[in-house]
Amino acid sequence: MSAVRFLLRIGALLLLCQGVAAASPRRIAEAQDPAARVTQLNRDALAAIDKREFEKAREILKKALELCGTAGLERHPVAARTHVHMGVVIIEGFKNRELGEKQFTQALAIEPGIAMTPALVTPEISEAFDEAKEQSKNLAPLSDDLALLDSGLDSLCFAIIVARLEDTLGFDPFSVREELEFPVTVGDFVKLYEDAAH
C-alpha cells in the first residue's frame, strides 16, 4: 500500500470520527428517548404549519402519535401536545372542525390543564379548543340534591347553560325576576326554570 493511500485512509477515518464526535447531545438523546423524538417531530410539524404545509405537518404528527403508541407514551404530556397540534392541522389545513375538536378532546383527556400553543391561536382554533374543554368536563352524577358547587361545572359553564336554555326556552329566569334566590342544588336550578315557565 502506498503512503499516499494510507494517509488518505487515515484522513477519511479521522473525518468520520470527527463527525461522530460532533453529533449533538440533543440528537443522541432523541435517538435514545422516544419522548424527545416525539418533541422533535412536533417541532418539525410546527415548522410545516408555519409554512402552511398542512399535509406534511399531518404526516409528521401521525408519525409522532404512532411513536407514542409503540413507546407506551399514549398518556404522556407529549402525546397531549401532539393531539393539540393535530387538531390545529385538521381545522386549519383540512377545514374539519369536528375531527379537530376530537383531537383537542383527546389532548384534554390526557392532560386536563393543557393550553393551546400560543403561536397557533386564531379565533376559530380558540373557539374549537374552548368547546372541547367544555365537552371534556368531568361531571358528578346529577341528582336533585347535588350542590351546584360540587357538580364539576364552573361559572363559565353555568353561563353557557343559561344562555343555551334561554335560546331554547325563550326566557332567562335570572333576568325575569327582580328578587331571586340563587339556586344551591341541581334541583333548585331545575325548579327555578319550572317556576319561571308557569
φ and ψ at residue 101, rounded to 5 degrees: -65, -35
Per domain, the residue ranges of the chain are 33-135, 148-197
**Which class for 53: exposed (0-12), middle (13-18), buried (19 or more C-beta within 10 A)?**
middle
3-state secondary structure of 147: strand
Query: Which residues are within 8 A (CB) of 114 and not within 5 positions of it... i.e. 6 or more apart?
Result: 77, 80, 81, 84, 107, 108
Is residue 90 within 8 Å of 103, Cβ to Cβ? yes
CA distances from 62 to 123, 125, 149, 158 (A): 25, 20, 40, 36
CB 95 within 8 A of CB 66: no
Write down the pLDDT at residue 30: 46
What is the block-wise mean pLDDT of the chain (198 residues), using blocks of 10 residues? 58 53 51 91 98 98 97 96 98 96 94 94 96 80 88 81 89 82 91 86
3-state secondary structure of 130: helix
- Cα distance between residue 31 and residue 186, in whole Å: 53
d(CA 106, CA 68): 13
* Dihedral of alpha carbons 31, 34, 36, 40, sign: positive
pTM of the model: 0.61
CATH class of 33-135: mainly alpha
> Cα separation of 124 and 29, whole Å?
36
**Which residues on adjacent β-strands are paired with residue 185?**
147
Identify the pLDDT of residue 176: 75
